[in-house]
Amino acid sequence: MKKFRSDEIRTMWLDFWRSKGHDIIDSAPLVPINDPTLLWINAGVAPLKKYFDGTSIPKNKRMANAQKSIRTNDIENVGRTARHHTFFEMLGNFSIGDYFREEALTFAMEILTSPRWYGMDINRLYFTVYPNDQDTIQKWMELGVAEDHIIPLADNFWEIGEGPCGPDTEIFFDRGESYDPDHIGVRLLREDISNERYIEIWNIVFSQYNAKAGIPRDQYKELPSKNIDTGMGLERMACVLQEVPTNYETDLFLPIIAKTASITGVDYHGQMAFKVIADHVRSVVFALSDGATFSNEGRGYVLRRLLRRAVRYARILGMNEAILYRLVATVVENMRHFYTYLPSKAEMVTKQIKMEEEKFLMTLASGEKRLLDFIEQANEKIISSQVAFLLYDTFGFPFELTLEVAEEHGFQVDKKGFSSLLQEQKNRARSARSKDQSMNIQNEAMMQFKKASLFVGYDQLLIKAKVTALFQEGRRVQQAKNQVLAVFDQTPFYAESGGQIGDIGFLTVHSQNYTIENTIKLPNGQHASLIDMKDTLLHEEDLVQLAVDETFRQDVARNHSATHLLNEALRQVIGNHVVQQGSMVSNHLLRFDFNHFVPLTNEEILQVEKLVNTEIEKNHPVVVKEMAIEEAKKTGAQALFGEKYNDIVRVIDMDFSKELCGGTHVTQTGEIDKFAILSVETKGSGIYRIEATTKDHIFDELNQSLENIGAEINALLDKKKTLEAVASEENIVLTSPLFELSNPIESYQMVINRRLEWETLRNIVKDMDKEYTKKKREAQVIDLSVLLALKKQIKDYSVLIHRLDDFSVEQLKDTVDRLSNQLANSMVFIGSKQEEKVVFICKNKIPQLSAGALVKIAALHTNGNGGGRNDFAQAGGKDSSKLDEALAIVEKEVTELL
């Protein structure tokens, strides 16, 4: 069998499918664009969901790719098994309503066994199939597969929730008896026994049914468009074709392992630590390069876990310093020939990993201190599952380290309980994934409608047109009233896409106007407008007049052009690592999501806003050109990372900014008039969102954006007035600074001003509250001489146990402190009724007593709980009727102990 380098395997795959008329699709970024259902791109088909569910029709129904992917459902298994990874490349070929089973299996046999391609021995290939899929069984046999190499398995059916699904066939490579020491043979496949002999290299899914909840599988309806979806793991294929024991000995991992060995001075002999480090550093480098960042939630949390696990295994290799950042260059060098963008990201990624490593090494020290504190205070020599999981999940302290530290101090850890908590967390994650990853159900009527509709809305807003199709409730109809989706032979209405909302306006028929409420794009690209026809019937072939709402369109165009300027301004102010992670452009405002390591400062936000307004004032002409995609990229035009573009693209050039875009824009940047940022917020996982607007909407939208701050300011002003009034009634004089709001301005500076004013007012009210409390306490000082006279002398100790009602907890603490200060070798214990509840406060200087134990006794007697230190403690109870009994019990306990 021929041996291939991994880059040869990848290139050969793409070349084969290109020769079969497939478009080669660029690998989408790992961070999904405009797809909130996915944490990561986790399969070759993930970026193509819109084609499989019929939402959109691709320009070529045959596609292939090498898609980088991340899956993190079983992180703990990485390094333990031969082929489990978090980052991997999935080689895929796809047919969207074009070829199906016959051609798919014929192509598969050719690329696998032909001497021109991978040249595998057919006798070393085994094929699992869905038992009812007789067509696949028959086709494999026609292609020369021996009957005893075809294994029916009931699990060979791909289905995730409702939507497209179907049987699949998996292809395994037999590595021979040297990987089967017990000589079990093909029973390993038939009985699904974990093994190293038969390696799954490819899965081919025949997506031919629409899954529907509550319906038996054998009653699923067939899809109007049957699809092929396949996935071949590059790492597994490299392992087989390079004839090495595990994926980690392939050329995809060995350079990283060799560099790790060089740094640590430890030779590699298959140790798990090397495998974990190699896998995890690949994931982190690619994820950061694709716009992810470290954080405490979402994908940022996953990245943090991966890096921390790798650091943990670096410690096993004797490294107590940051080393993972030194592997970035090796990962980049190993993958740069196919992923050509990696070198430009290397410096940024190295910096981020180094910072995160160093921070985690400090966290390890902090986590160990927390654990040691717990061990010191523990009553039993066991660390509960809750404590271990808290250290692991919240503070990032590895469970293995918890076990080590516990063992050193003679403690046991509740491993079973920890595993249960960990499994619960995994189940929640799996449940979320299974719900999110299902596809939409195909709409047959819309997919089958292929008549062209010409969009003329870049140049015309008012035209005459003919109705060519009507859809209502998902079905095509000949006539309709009320709400109906209409397609025309030509239309000026822009359909919602690229983040820009669809046009609105009017349809005129028989001299009557009807409102067009939205415009969307059908699967085959036609612009369809949603019309409220009320009680009037609209028919196919009707001649109509279409008019776009001109004010609406102009407002949208201003916001869209401003979005382009904002994108470039962010890149110039905070760095060219900024990548658009989603956008929304409406007539009122614009939203722009982007990646960054840290929250933007007020200074940076104002700088971005000022830069956009400067470019507006320069009144650049907005030049629109159509050109070939490769030519456009050579001009420096920005393309949305991972977006699928046609061969001919539209370039929007504003001099300051140049992007590929199909949306509507102003003709001069001066038409935008003015730009203001309304808010900046984090969306989690290192993604930030800016909301902004332009021209006449600025003042209203700013006020709307500031509504919450305004409500908080009003609440604080009300509290200030209340404090002043109450203090006046009680003859308490308060310092009450004047407070006035600044005048509004049309800039993000207004948001900053209001926040600063809120903070100022909050501090004023806080200080007034403290001053009022202090002066009220001074006015109600408890006479200590009365209480001191109640103390009892037991041997050489002063004991004071008393009930004091109608005082605040702060007053009681102050009283206990002052009493204790005047009594040497003493214990002061105060019980107090607080409405229907009880509070106990104790300060103790007597060695034989514990304040924590005494308040706990009292609290338990009053149906409460609590505790504290030996010298000071506070606890609460729920039954005030037992307060006197509790004090008597405490007095008895103290007397007995002394």
pLDDT-based confidence at 431, cuts 50/70/90? low
Cβ atoms of residues 238 and 246 within 8 Å: no
Say which range, 252-261, 331-340, 522-531, 776-785, has the weakest mean pLDDT: 776-785
| Cα–Cα distance, 105 to 113 (Å, whole number) | 12
Cβ atoms of residues 764 and 724 within 8 Å: no
246: number of Cβ within 10 Å: 15
Q: Which helix or strand (DSSP H or E) is residue 90 part of?
A: strand 87-96
pLDDT (0 to 100) of residue 643: 64
* Side-chain-facing half-sphere of 62: CA atoms under 13 Å: 15
Cβ atoms of residues 221 and 210 within 8 Å: yes
Which pair of tokens denotes residue 216? 């038996």
441 vs 828, residue with greater confidence = 828
Beta-strand pair 412-413/797-803: unpaired
Which residues does 715 contact at the CB level (< 8 Å), separation at least 6?
none
| Cα–Cα distance, 293 to 277 (Å, whole number) | 19
Site of tokens 């940051």: 322
The percentage of the chain sitting over the pLDDT mark of 70, rounded to a whole number, equals 96
Please, which residues bridge with residue 222 across strands? 209
Phi, psi dihedrals of residue 876, rounded to the nearest 5°: -130, 155
* pTM listed for this prediction: 0.64
CA dihedral 679, 682, 686, 687 (to 10 degrees): -60
CA distance readout (Å), 377 to 238, 263, 373, 804, 887: 53, 40, 6, 33, 28
Q: What is the mean pLDDT of residues 383-402?
A: 81
Q: Amino acid identity, residue 20?
A: K
Q: Which helix or strand (DSSP H or E) is residue 336 part of?
A: none
Q: Is the pLDDT of residue 590 over 90?
A: yes
Largest CA distance in the chain: 108
pLDDT (0 to 100) of residue 301: 83
pLDDT (0 to 100) of residue 67: 95
Cβ atoms of residues 667 and 619 within 8 Å: no
| Cα–Cα distance, 551 to 557 (Å, whole number) | 10
Q: What is the mean pLDDT of residues 691-720?
A: 88
Q: What is the mean pLDDT of residues 490-519?
A: 94
Q: Is the pLDDT of residue 326 over 50?
A: yes
Nearest CA to 810 among 886, 854, 865, 874?
874
75 vs 274, residue with greater confidence = 274
Which pair of tokens denotes residue 817? 């402190």
pLDDT-based confidence at 569, cuts 50/70/90? very high
CA distance readout (Å), 593 to 34, 611, 692, 783: 10, 18, 12, 63
Q: Is the pLDDT of residue 755 over 50?
A: yes
| Cα–Cα distance, 536 to 532 (Å, whole number) | 9
Q: Is the pLDDT of residue 620 over 50?
A: yes
CA distance readout (Å), 735 to 367, 717, 760, 771, 811: 45, 15, 15, 8, 22
Q: Amino acid identity, residue 408?
A: E
Please, which residues bridge with residue 41 across strands? none
The top-scoring range by mean pLDDT among 441-445, 629-633, 761-765, 778-782 is 761-765
Cβ atoms of residues 203 and 195 within 8 Å: no
Cβ atoms of residues 683 and 593 within 8 Å: yes
pLDDT-based confidence at 437, cuts 50/70/90? very low
Which pair of tokens denotes residue 660? 């590929």
Q: Is the pLDDT of residue 435 over 50?
A: no
Which pair of tokens denotes residue 269? 């002999």
Cβ atoms of residues 287 and 31 within 8 Å: yes
| Cα–Cα distance, 184 to 643 (Å, whole number) | 48
| Cα–Cα distance, 770 to 776 (Å, whole number) | 10
DSSP 743-792: PP-SSHHHHHHHHHHHHHHHHHHHHHHHHHHHHHHHHT---HHHHHTT-E
**Chain-wide mean pLDDT for the chain?**
90
Cβ atoms of residues 675 and 694 within 8 Å: yes
pLDDT (0 to 100) of residue 252: 97
Which residues does 408 contact at the CB level (< 8 Å), separation at least 6?
none
Q: State the burial class of residue 818 (Cβ atoms within 10 Å of its Cβ: 0-12, 13-18, 19+).
A: middle
Q: State the burial class of residue 308 (Cβ atoms within 10 Å of its Cβ: 0-12, 13-18, 19+).
A: buried
pLDDT (0 to 100) of residue 433: 43
320 vs 243, residue with greater confidence = 243
Which pair of tokens denotes residue 84? 């489990």
Beta-strand pair 163-174/23-25: unpaired
Q: What is the mean pLDDT of residues 822-835?
A: 93
DSSP 820-878: HHH-SSEEEEEEEEETTEEEEEEEE--TT--HHHHHHHHHHHTT-EEEE-SSEEEEEES
pLDDT (0 to 100) of residue 644: 67
459 vs 407, residue with greater confidence = 459
Nearest CA to 547 among 496, 513, 507, 514?
507
Number of helical (H) and strand (E) elements in the chain, helices listed first: 25, 35
Which of helix, strand or coil describes residue 588? Answer: coil
| Cα–Cα distance, 358 to 354 (Å, whole number) | 6
- pLDDT, tens digit, for every residue of 132-154? 999 999 999 999 999 999 999 99
The top-scoring range by mean pLDDT among 104-113, 372-381, 716-725 is 104-113
At what angle are helices 707-729 and 748-779 packed, to 10 degrees?
20
- pLDDT, tens digit, for every residue of 173-203? 999 999 999 999 999 999 999 999 999 999 9
Which pair of tokens denotes residue 127? 């094929």
pLDDT-based confidence at 432, cuts 50/70/90? very low
pLDDT-based confidence at 430, cuts 50/70/90? low
| Cα–Cα distance, 108 to 114 (Å, whole number) | 10
pLDDT (0 to 100) of residue 434: 42
pLDDT-based confidence at 213, cuts 50/70/90? confident
CA distance readout (Å), 23 to 16, 43, 418, 885: 11, 18, 49, 85
- pLDDT, tens digit, for every residue of 792-818? 999 899 999 999 987 888 889 989 999
pLDDT (0 to 100) of residue 398: 76
- pLDDT, tens digit, for every residue of 658-676? 999 999 999 999 999 999 9
Q: State the burial class of residue 584 (Cβ atoms within 10 Å of its Cβ: 0-12, 13-18, 19+).
A: middle
